[in-house]
Amino acid sequence: MGQEGACILPTIEGARHHFDELEKKLIGSLVSEKLGGVLRELSAKALYIVDLVVRNLYERTADVAFLATDREISRYMAQSDASNTDDQRIRDRLHAYQRKYTVYDSIALLAPDGRLKAGVSRSGALPEACTDAFVGRALEQDGYVEAFAHSTLQPWKQESLIYCHRIMD
C-alpha cells in the first residue's frame, strides 16, 4: 500500500464512523417519533375510556336518583301492605326500566329494615332481605351510597356494583 492508500484509509474510516453515528441518530429519531405517536394514540384512547367510565357512573347515579324520586315507587314504598296488583304493577315498572337500561342485572326496592318489597333480576331470585351495611348508610343520608363488594342482594356473584338511595317523598 502506497502513500495514497495510507491517506485514504483514515478518511474512509472517518466517513464510516460519521455514517454509523448518523445512522444511530436517525434510528433514534425514528424510534422516538414512532414512540411519541403510539403514546399520543394510547393517551387519547385512555382519556376516552376514562370519560366513558365517568359518564357511565354519572348516569347510574342519575338513574338511582330518578328511581328514588319516582312517584309511583314512592307511593308503593309508603304503603305498609301493598296488594298483589300493586306488587305486579311495580315489578312491571321495574322490568320496563331494566329493559330500557340494560346495564342493570337487578333492581331491588328494600324496606328500611332490609326486607325486599319488590324487585327484578336477570340472574337469579332476589333474597327476601338484605343485610348489607350500605342499606343503613343510604337511609342516613340524602344522596346515594355506592358499594362494590359481595352483597346479599346478589349472593351468586363474588362482587357487585350496587347503588343504594333512599326513597324521597
Q: Write out the E strands in the chain.
A: 106-110, 116-121, 144-149, 160-165
Asked whether residue 59 carries a pLDDT value surpassing 70, the answer given is: yes
Going by pLDDT thresholds of 50, 70 and 90, the confidence category of residue 52 is confident
pTM of this structure: 0.64
Say which residues have a Cβ less than 8 Å from residue 36's Cβ, sequence separation at least 6: none
Q: Which residue has the higher pLDDT, 28 or 142?
A: 28
Q: How far apart are CA 76 and CA 63, in angstroms?
A: 18
* Mean pLDDT estimate for the chain: 83
Please, how many CA atoms are within 13 Å of residue 57, restricted to the half-sphere of its CB? Answer: 12
Q: How far apart are CA 80 and CA 78, in angstroms?
A: 6
- What are the angstrom distances between the C-alpha of 7 and each of 2, 11, 20, 21, 162? 9, 7, 21, 22, 82
Can you state the angle between helices 71-78 and 3-69, rounded to 10 degrees?
50
Of 94, 97, 144, nearest to 116 by C-alpha is: 94
pLDDT in tens, 114-164: 888 889 988 878 899 998 888 888 888 877 788 888 998 888 889 988 888
Q: Which residue has the higher pLDDT, 156 or 7?
A: 156
Q: Which residue has the higher pLDDT, 153 or 165?
A: 153
Q: How far apart are CA 111 and CA 114, in angstroms?
A: 5
Q: Give the range among 57-66, 81-90, 104-113, 129-138 with minimum mean pLDDT.
A: 57-66
Q: What is the pLDDT of residue 158?
A: 92
Q: Can you read off the three cell numbers belonging to residue 90?
A: 311495580
